[in-house]
């Protein structure tokens, strides 16, 4: 291949992945929209609905990149607050935007975005400023395989389109288990195996033929997008990944296919 990723030994995968995301960081959000026709937004919205955070939820979003999941977490809680406030009478203290009273929902909840790549985090921070989320998100540079976080720290751990980029999936899962509090939930959104033969054929054509070309045209980078396509093919299928999650210690593990398995949501609890 152009990037030689299929033959790249495991020891240098981390380095190569770092290079890929440093190259694409500035164009990452645009490319996601272009490549998926905006569908990644719907998947991420749905992912957050499935997590269903409540007031006080402490979330860590690993391989969180430019903050898509973190911002959805905050909007979800914000909307919850907005609808709660419908029943509140006039005269209560409102936040500076003045739209609705600010309870404790957002104050008690928090999200940490952890990513190995500073360039991705920097884009995320700029987005947070533009969205006015500066106080509600913390940004942490760290490797999913050895998180710089104490045991039993979070209520929820999410990882979206990130785990396939790591070198040792088993280590990532063990770390997820370690940093979650007892009762905490692990949720992963990732590309997976397409279940319909016809769709798989179309999807393969699309991803191998079209995505690297789009990468070249939109982001000026063929190789990074070629890598992204290859990494999807190599990631374990739904059942196999569910088994790995169980092996890391999680219970009540299940998964749900999105668009016939183009992506899947896996979930498990530290019980």
| Size of the residue set binding ligand SAM (CB under 6 A) | 20
Tokens of 228: 């992204």
Residue among 191, 170, 188 nearest 244 (CA): 170
Contact between 224 and ligand SAM by CB under 6 A: the answer reads: no
Burial class (CB in 10 A: 0-12, 13-18, 19+), 235: middle
8 Å CB contact between 186 and 174:
no
CB of 15 to ligand SAM, least distance (A): 11
Question: Which CB, 106 or 159, lies closer to ligand SAM?
Answer: 159
- Which residue stretch of 109-117, 191-199, 232-240, 245-253 sits at the interface with ligand SAM (rule: CB under 6 A)? 109-117
**Binds ligand SAM (CB under 6 A): choice among 63, 123, 262, 263:** 63
Q: Does 143 sit near ligand SAM (CB under 6 A)?
A: yes
Nearer to ligand SAM, 115 or 223 (CB): 115
Tell which one of 74, 105, 156, 160 touches ligand SAM (CB under 6 A).
160
Beta-bridged to residue 191, according to DSSP, are 263
String of DSSP letters for 206-271: IIIIIHHHHHHHHHS-HHHHHHHHHHHHHSPPHHHHHHHHHHTT-EEEEEEEETTTTEEEEEEE--
Q: Is 228 exposed, middle or buried (0-12, 13-18, 19+ CB in 10 A)?
A: buried
When CB distances to ligand SAM are compared, the closest residue is: 65
Answer for which of 120, 137, 262, 264 binds ligand SAM (CB under 6 A) is 120
Closer Cβ to ligand SAM, 95 or 170, answer by number: 170
Binding flag, residue 17, ligand SAM (CB under 6 A)? yes
Counting contacts by CB under 6 A, is residue 231 touching ligand SAM? no
Contact with ligand SAM (CB under 6 A) among 31, 68, 224, 253: 68
The region of 116-124, 191-199, 201-209, 233-241 touching ligand SAM under the rule CB under 6 A is: 116-124
Distance in angstroms (rounded) separating the CA atoms of residues 170 and 153: 20
Contact residues: ligand SAM, CB under 6 A:
17, 21, 62-65, 68-69, 115-117, 120, 143-145, 160-162, 165-166
């Amino acid at each position: 291949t152009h990037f030689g990723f299929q033959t790249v030994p495991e020891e240098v995968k981390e380095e190569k992945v770092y290079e890929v995301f440093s190259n694409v960081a500035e164009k990452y959000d645009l490319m996601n929209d272009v490549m998926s026709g905006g569908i990644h937004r719907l998947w991420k919205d749905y992912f957050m609905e499935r997590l269903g955070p409540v007031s006080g939820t402490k979330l860590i979003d690993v391989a969180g990149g430019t903050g898509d999941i973190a911002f959805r977490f905050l909007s979800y809680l914000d909307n919850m607050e907005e609808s709660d406030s419908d029943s509140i009478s006039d005269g209560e203290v409102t936040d500076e935007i003045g739209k609705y009273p600010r309870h404790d929902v957002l104050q008690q909840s928090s999200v940490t975005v952890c990513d190995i790549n500073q360039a991705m985090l920097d884009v995320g921070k700029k987005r947070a400023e533009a969205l006015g989320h500066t106080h509600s998100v913390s940004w942490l540079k760290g490797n999913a395989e050895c998180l710089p976080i104490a045991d039993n720290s979070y209520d929820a751990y999410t990882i979206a389109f990130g785990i396939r980029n790591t070198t040792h999936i088993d280590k990532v899962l063990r770390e997820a288990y370690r940093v979650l509090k007892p009762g905490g939930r692990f949720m992963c959104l990732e590309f997976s195996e397409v279940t319909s033969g016809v769709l798989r054929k179309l999807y393969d054509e699309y991803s191998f033929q079209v995505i690297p070309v789009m990468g070249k045209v939109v982001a000026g980078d063929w190789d990074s997008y070629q890598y992204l396509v290859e990494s999807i093919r190599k990631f374990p299928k739904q059942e196999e990944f569910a088994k790995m999650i169980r092996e890391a210690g999680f219970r009540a593990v299940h998964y749900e296919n999105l668009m016939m398995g183009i992506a899947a949501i896996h979930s498990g609890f530290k019980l």
